[in-house]
Structure 1
Amino acid sequence: MKTIFITGASTGLGKTTAKLFQSRGWNVIVTMRNPEAETELAQLENVTLLPLDVTNLEQIKSTVQKALEISSIDLVFNNAGYGLIGPLEALSDDQVIRQLDTNLLGVIRVTKEFIPYFRERKSGMFITTTSIGGLLAFPLGSTYHATKWALEGWSESLAYELNTFGVEVKTVSPGGIKTDFISRSLDLGTQPEYQAMIDKMMSSTDAMMEGASEPEVIAEVVYEAATDGKKQLRYVAGQDAQALYKQRLEMGAEAFRAEFGKQFI
């Protein structure tokens, strides 16, 4: 029986992915900041809950060690993250640091803890949730995009390093997901000078969320990436994300950017 280790599994995509892999016969180790508050996953067979705040390096080290004592691990799914939205000058330094710490450094640190184990086994896989926002950019998300674009480049480089040891590296880039991400996983900054753009951005986001995917659809893409045996780095997930990414590739980055930006300005 194979085992998946998941970060950020308390809600949304992380939780849905945990349930999908469990239903397909996998051992699942789920991590979240407050596992004692999770009731649904705790009742499932072959699911273990462990505490993990990905901004806490000592806890990362101890939780990874504990997970490896519980089971051999075949797949690490880096899913913890949230969105920081707002004009850059409106964001506090603490907001910027927290965003980088969670979305980027958290992923890097969790991955780094598992690398020696996978390298010695000459097998294993890392899948990281990036975003369509790791392949193209929306206004007012500069720090969020900084983390997601960084993860795309980081994964591409890391794949060269680790593939030589039989370790796979993949990314899943979803578009909108019908979860409570907007209400639960969003941090906002605002400033009067940008209000018109913020209002347009919010109304465009509402319209775009109508084409969002159910989390089960994105979880299936994670499962596909985990099991298809392909030497493929990127999996663009959800019809909305696929359509936007196809448009960008066909138009070219600059023409797409000019056209895409018209709806927000």
Structure 2
Amino acid sequence: MNKTIFITGASSGIGKAAAKLFSEKGWNVIATMRNPEKETELNKIQNVTVLKLDVTNLKQIQETVQKVLETREVDVVFNNAGYALMGALEAISDEQLVDQMETNFLGVVRVTKAFIPYFREKNAGLFITTGSSAGLAGFPVGSIYDASKWAIEGWSESLSFELAQFGIGIKTIEPGLVATEIGNKSPVATHPAYDEMLNSFMSFIGQSKEITTAEQIAEVVYGAATDGTKKLRYVCGEDAIAMYTHRLAVGDEVFREDIQQMLEGGTSII
């Protein structure tokens, strides 16, 4: 019997690339998104089912998961929905702050919680989450986005102990810069006191040559779903691997000094 993967945030980027790849590999794919009526590709693939799901809507999460599990089995849940809110904390409204955490962190937690009883009963299952290199190191003008990804890291590691006794796995994918629509769609909060830092950091991001494609990250997701290991973190993308290796080698304070020098016109380490 073909396996089934449930994907959130499948309308673009890594989510859509993963949906296509898993379907090509013979998996049944449940691709969820906020506006399925706008989807023009995935709904044409025979083994892909497109469903509406806003991960900030708890009732919709519960109803959608229940509906899915009443009609089919699910083997893997890929929590991918998310976006990057950039800007200094002083520039970010409370509404923006809450929405970022509701989407990137609580959405993941709530979707996962909805599936746990099902996976526990069958003593099998795997959760994969799209984290970020921003969950491994803190970067300028990204404190709330970084916080949402750091939260994923601690939550996943802690939860792994709860789930392991029931044969359930949990893994996190940690890419660096990815050539997806997230960069164009993500909101940027501005404040004159921090514009110089924001512009400097965004300039470094824009000039980066080490950008991974969504399709390359989808391959990592597929590997995580099929490698049969208990590996917790998958750092991927040359930039993320180089950055994380450097941080571990030099330590937190030297790494922070390197970031500061980068902002002041030094060599990029991202």
Same fold (TM over 0.5): yes
Asked if residue 205 in structure 1 is aligned to residue 205 in structure 2, the reply is: yes
Q: Name the CA distance, whole Å, in 1 between partners of 2:191 and 2:259.
A: 23
**Structure-1 residue corresponding to 2:187:** 187
Q: Name the CA distance, whole Å, in 2 between partners of 1:257 and 1:163.
A: 35
Q: Any idea what the Cα deviations from partners look like across 1:147-181, whole Å, max 9, x if unmatched?
A: 00000000000001101110000000011111111
TM-score (norm 1): 0.98
Shift in Å, 1:199 = 1.3
Could you tell me which runs of 5 or more consecutive residues in structure 2 were left unpaired when the two chains were aligned. 265-270
Shift in Å, 1:70 = 2.9
Q: For residue 257 of structure 2, what is the amino acid of its counterpart?
A: A
**Structure-1 residue corresponding to 2:60:** 59
Q: Name the CA distance, whole Å, in 2 between partners of 1:252 and 1:136.
A: 11
Runs in 1 of length 4+ with deviation above 6 angstroms?
Answer: none
Q: For residue 189 of structure 2, what is the amino acid of its counterpart?
A: G
**Structure-1 residue corresponding to 2:140:** 139
**Structure-2 residue corresponding to 1:118:** 119
Q: Name the CA distance, whole Å, in 2 between partners of 1:191 and 1:224.
A: 42
Q: Any idea what the Cα deviations from partners look like across 1:22-51, whole Å, max 9, x if unmatched?
A: 000100001000111111000001110110
**Structure-1 residue corresponding to 2:95:** 94
**Structure-1 residue corresponding to 2:13:** 12
**Structure-2 residue corresponding to 1:224:** 223
Query: Once the two structures are aligned, what percentage of the paired residues are identical?
Result: 57
**Structure-1 residue corresponding to 2:169:** 168
Shift in Å, 1:122 = 0.4
Q: Name the CA distance, whole Å, in 2 between partners of 1:71 and 1:25.
A: 16
Shift in Å, 1:67 = 1.3
Q: Alpha carbon RMSD of aligned pairs, Å?
A: 0.8
**Structure-2 residue corresponding to 1:40:** 41
Q: Name the CA distance, whole Å, in 1 between partners of 2:81 and 2:260.
A: 29
Q: For residue 191 of structure 1, what is the amino acid of its counterpart?
A: H
Shift in Å, 1:260 = 2.2
TM-score (norm 2): 0.96
**Structure-2 residue corresponding to 1:128:** 129
Q: Name the CA distance, whole Å, in 2 between partners of 1:246 and 1:6.
A: 30
Could you tell me which runs of 5 or more consecutive residues in structure 1 were left unpaired when the two chains were aligned. none
**Structure-2 residue corresponding to 1:25:** 26
Aligned positions, number? 263
Q: For residue 187 of structure 2, what is the amino acid of its counterpart?
A: D
SS of structure 1 residue aligned to 2:263: coil
SS of structure 2 residue aligned to 1:94: helix
**Structure-1 residue corresponding to 2:268:** none
Q: Name the CA distance, whole Å, in 2 between partners of 1:102 and 1:6.
A: 14
Q: For residue 60 of structure 2, what is the amino acid of its counterpart?
A: Q
Q: Name the CA distance, whole Å, in 2 between partners of 1:92 and 1:143.
A: 11
